[in-house]
Every structure is written in structure tokens, then in C-alpha cells.
Amino acid sequence: MADALRARFLRSLAEIPAADWDAITGGDYPFLRHAFLYGLERSGCTTAESGWQPLHLLLTRGERAVGLLPLYLKCHSWGEYVFDWSWADAWQRLGLAYYPKLVSAIPFTPATGPRLCLAPGEAEAAAWDTALTAIQGFAQDRGVSSWHLLFPEAAVSEALLARGLPRRRATQFHWFNRGYATFDDFLQTFTSRKRKSLRRERQRVAEQNLALRTLRGAQIQPAHWARFHHFYQMTYAKRSGHGGYLTREFFTEVAPSLGEQVVMVIAEHAGEDVAAALYFRSSDTLYGRYWGCLEEFDCLHFEACYYQGIEYCIAEGLQRFDPGAQGEHKIQRGFEPVATWSSHWIADPRLAEAVADFTRRELPHSEAYQREAATLLPFKHT
């Protein structure tokens, strides 16, 4: 008789060998790699002190690891990109505690992808049965308010909806490769006015004597990583008054360990590197993640974070470019509105119904927003 499927919680990824973890995830989606998630932990980005206590769920049969789900115990909602501050306020008005809560997500990374990963031969329905029972039991034993699954694939959120877990829909803007041979080939799908506008932006970068180069994997030297961290800190400080979620060690030690899955676009002016954009990639998708600069240049952000990414996808044959959350300015640059999802389990039955009602009422507004955004695309035929 086969061993029963069991669940246990890992308070650190040091508790499981990288090879065992990566054998289950497959390694193509960069943000689930052991090197990435454990790197966040050991570089001080995801710790109890930062409000991201690792509590990853491991499924086993006997001594063999057969499934995993990223999981964190959180005391705030920062770095998630699915905004539930109003829920926390509602809990507080009722005299209840919303935090701590459980979150299955990639920290600081609003990128849709696999969440519950399984070894070949494992049944997904049975795995979710075991995982949800363990999560709900932990929450009820420890007085945890809820569990939230952020940016899963659509089919996963739909399956959890069938299990009674309400889901939220949101919108991001992604670029899709329709078999373009060159960037100009892509631009030919634009209306004349929009095409001229985009070309003017790229020309403006050239007029400021900015030169851009793209590096990948081992081409990115330690000095580039140190410089990037400085750009990142400067930009976060200007926008939000703090140095960002990620430490210097994440950029200088963790990101380089991902090898060829890391791409950096660097902008140079008067012989000095003045800005950079950092991407991660899988076999078919480019993920735009971080940007930083020493000083502002007209249209440089669009060039480094969007147009260079599109050119890279075309050159490498990647099918999709996910540049990150939000940003309606992406629409006129050819990034199409797509749905993203999150699923939610609430321990208190009264509040669970309130959240379910909220998601039902929110859904038509989210759908209407996506439809309206699609009418603003720059293509000749939308």
C-alpha cells in the first residue's frame, strides 16, 4: 500500500535540499527556484523581522517530497500587490485581528505562475485536499485570520472557487509575441499616430546621448550588481522614502546565482552607467521586475523597462513579456490587459461571507475595466 500523503511546514528552506525542491518545481519559473526563495530568506528580505516568516508547505509520501506550496506567515500586507487594507480595517472595526495571516505568494513579485507544485503521478485534487486541511488546521490552532493565494494560474483559482474559496480578479498589462521578426515589425501593427509617438520616445533617448546594452547571466559582473543596488535604493527613496524591500545581498549574491535566468539592461551617459532595469526569464516569458536610476532622463524608463524588453523577447523568441503590476501607460505601448487572480480562505464564517460578497460585487467592475482598457490599445484592429 502506498504511503499516505502528509503535510508539514518548513520554517526555513534550509530544511530541504535545493535539488529536492527544484526537482518538484522544474526550475523554469525563476521565482519558485530554491535559490530565489531561500536567497530572499538568507539575505534578510523574508524573515519574521521583515514580516515575511517562511512557513512553506511540503507534501510527502513517507520520506519522499512530492509537493510544495510557498507559504508565509505575515503581520502586514506590504509587498503583495493584491490590496486587502480595507479588509484589515474591517476586522479592526469589529475588534478582531486581521494579522497574522497566511499568504502563498512570491514575495515582492506580482507574477502569475505555478503555486502548488507536484511530482509526476500526484493527483492535484488530493494534494489540495491535504494542503488546505493543513493550512486551515494551522490557522485555527494559532488564531490566524485567513489564507491568501496570490497570482495563481486561472485554472487553479477556478478550482478553488469550486471548493468554496472566493477569488478576486484584477488586471495587468502584458506584451505578446505575435511572431514578430523585428521591433519595427511589431510597430507596423500600430495606427500611424501611435507608431509615430512611440518612435519619438525612442528617438528622444538617442538625442540625450544615452546608450543601452543588455547583459545576461555571467555577463553581469559584481560591479554591475553593486551599481544596480544603488540605483534601486535611490529610486525607492525618491518614490516612497525608504530603501526598498530588497537588500544589497539579494542583488550581489542571490540574483547572480540564478545564472542565465537574469537579464540586465544598463543605460550609459557620458561614459557612466546612470540607470538599469532588471529582468528574469523562463523558457517562454520575460518578467520585468526592478528599475533604478541616478537621475531622470526623458523617456529612458520606457526604453529600458519596456522597449528593450520587447526587443529581447523578439530576438530570443520569448512569447510573453510581463512587465509587472499596474501601469495604464503601458496600454498605448502595446501591452494588452489580462486578468490576474487571487483566492482567499477566511477562518471566521461571518467574515468569510462578507469577503465572498465583496468579490462578487467587485467582479463586474474589474471585467468592465479590462474591456475598457482593451479599447485603448494602439493597434490598427483591437
Along the 382 residues of the chain, how does pLDDT read in single tens digits? Answer: 579 999 999 999 999 999 999 999 999 999 999 999 999 999 999 999 999 999 999 999 999 999 999 999 999 999 999 999 999 999 999 999 999 999 999 999 999 999 999 999 999 999 999 999 999 999 999 999 999 999 999 999 999 999 999 999 999 999 999 999 999 999 999 999 999 999 999 999 999 999 999 999 999 999 999 999 999 999 988 877 777 899 999 999 999 999 999 999 999 999 999 999 999 999 999 999 999 999 899 999 999 999 999 999 999 999 999 999 888 999 999 999 999 999 999 999 989 999 999 999 999 999 999 999 999 999 997 5
Say yes or no: 153 and 258 in one domain: no
Say yes or no: 152 and 261 in one domain: no
Say yes or no: 146 and 197 in one domain: no
Report the alpha-carbon distance of residue 70 to residue 188 in Å, rounded: 42
CA 124 to chain centre: 23
Say yes or no: 141 and 224 in one domain: no
Structural domain containing residue 192:
178-318
Long-range pairs, 212-215, Cβ under 8 A, ≥24: 212/265, 212/266, 212/267, 212/268, 212/303, 212/304, 212/308, 213/265, 213/266, 213/268, 214/263, 214/264, 214/265, 214/266, 214/308, 214/312, 215/263, 215/264, 215/265, 215/266
Say yes or no: 293 and 156 in one domain: no
Residue 218 lies in a domain: yes
In degrees, to the nearest 5, what angle opens at C-alpha 326 toward C-alphas 325 and 328?
145
Residue whose entry in the numeric block shows the C-alpha cell 509575441? 177
Q: What is the DSSP letter of 253?
A: I
Say yes or no: 190 and 218 in one domain: yes
Counting the structural domains of the chain, the total is: 2
CB atoms < 10 A from the CB of 44, how many? 14
Say yes or no: 97 and 121 in one domain: yes
Say yes or no: 312 and 347 in one domain: no
Say yes or no: 17 and 165 in one domain: yes
How would you label 12-32 residue by residue, b for 16+ Cβ within 10 Å and e otherwise? Answer: ebeebeeeebeebbebebbbb
Question: For position 21, which CATH number holds?
Answer: 3.40.630.30
Residue 324 lies in a domain: no
Residue type, 65: A
What pairs with residue 211 in β-bridges? Answer: 268
CA gyration radius, the chain: 22
